[in-house]
Amino acid sequence: MLRVVLAQPRGFCAGVERAIEIVERALVKYGPPIYVRHEIVHNRHVVEDLRTRGAIFVDELDEIPTGATTIFSAHGVARVVEETASRRGLAVIDATCPLVAKVHNEGRRYAAAGREIVLIGHAGHAEVEGTIGQIPGKVHLVQTVADVAALTVADPEKLAYITQTTLSVDDTRQIIAALTERFPAIRGPDVRDICYATQNRQTAVHELAKAVDVILVVGSQNSSNSNRLREIGAELGKPSYLIDDASALRPDWFAGIASVGLTAGASAPETLVQEVIEGLRRFGAIEVTTLEGVAENVRFRFPPELADSEPAEASSF
């Protein structure tokens, strides 16, 4: 009998739920097609489901017809993207996660006070590109403690840092410690910019690792927070695998083990978790339990243009 232990919390966070429902509400209110710049959230299954309903996902704004209804993804966009959309007469609905928008506001506030900004984050990630593009003035991107040692700034007395919302809490603390040691006058928010959902899911993996032999994380390969969950499991000495869905399960992962932990990144729907549970039954009898954990009840407001509308039907997720 294989014991399957579910992490709590896992899966969708409030920002992801809001972003997906923004697309659903827009499809009902304005009718398809609705254009979405980049993936609304980093999950292939979610994107494909919305595509079947009439959402068209594009990489750049020039792929969108003039005047079309356009949604910015949960990761946020640079100011130049907002300005381009305005010039082209696009009817924009902003699905940027409110916690990402909070980081943008902090960065602009520090820049307005004359401080150079250090952004702790992953190069090339959509959220990082959007954040850098929201802040006037110099933004230094650091990804590791080694990057801090190599940092060259104009004035060590006029620095501030902000962080990507989906980082490893433990890794970020180390980078912040390196920054404050090298630049004692630097200002910043400790790890408070790492979103509540990211922190809760990482804490749950720490607990999961104490109880199981192997850890499975349901999430897409381009999902930052899902990758962090897998990395944490591995750092805690447990074989850990990031999988899109049940089709990725391999029997050799479970040979000779008694228990497997199962969690999901903040952009992965619970339906995929349940499908993985069913997939595990292919390898024999299982017993499913759930760890105690934080119960999340956060909800974010919708953009005013969609506040009074509803999706035509409940999300398939």
Tens digit of pLDDT for each residue in 267-296? Answer: 999 999 999 999 999 999 999 999 999 989
**Model confidence band, residue 313 (pLDDT cutoffs 50, 70, 90):** low
**Model confidence band, residue 308 (pLDDT cutoffs 50, 70, 90):** confident
Outline where the chain has alpha helix (H).
Answer: 14-30, 44-53, 79-87, 98-112, 126-134, 145-149, 169-182, 196-209, 224-235, 270-280
**Which residues belong to the active site?**
127
For the record, the structure tokens of 103 come out as 């980081």
pLDDT digits (tens, 9 = 90+) for 65-117: 999 999 999 999 999 999 999 999 999 999 999 999 999 999 999 999 999 99
3-state class (DSSP) for residue 276: helix
Q: Which pLDDT does position 312 carry in this prediction?
A: 55
Domains and CATH numbers, the chain: 2-12+196-290 (3.40.1010.20), 14-96+300-306 (3.40.50.11270), 99-182 (3.40.1010.20)
Residue 48 pLDDT more than 70?
Answer: yes
Q: Please tell me what DSSP assigns to residue 246.
A: G
Residue with tokens 């499975």: 216
Report the residue count for the chain.
317
Interatomic CA distance for residues 191 and 203, integer angstroms: 14
Beta bridge partners of 72: 37, 94
Q: Which pLDDT does position 307 carry in this prediction?
A: 80
Amino acid (1-letter code) at residue 2: L
Q: Which pLDDT does position 235 carry in this prediction?
A: 97
**Model confidence band, residue 315 (pLDDT cutoffs 50, 70, 90):** low
Q: Which pLDDT does position 209 carry in this prediction?
A: 97
Q: Which pLDDT does position 191 carry in this prediction?
A: 81
**Model confidence band, residue 190 (pLDDT cutoffs 50, 70, 90):** confident
Interatomic CA distance for residues 247 and 128, integer angstroms: 31
Residue 194 pLDDT more than 90?
Answer: no
Interatomic CA distance for residues 73 and 94, integer angstroms: 7
Q: For the chain, what is the mean pLDDT?
A: 94
pLDDT digits (tens, 9 = 90+) for 118-171: 999 999 999 999 999 999 989 999 999 999 999 999 999 999 999 999 999 989
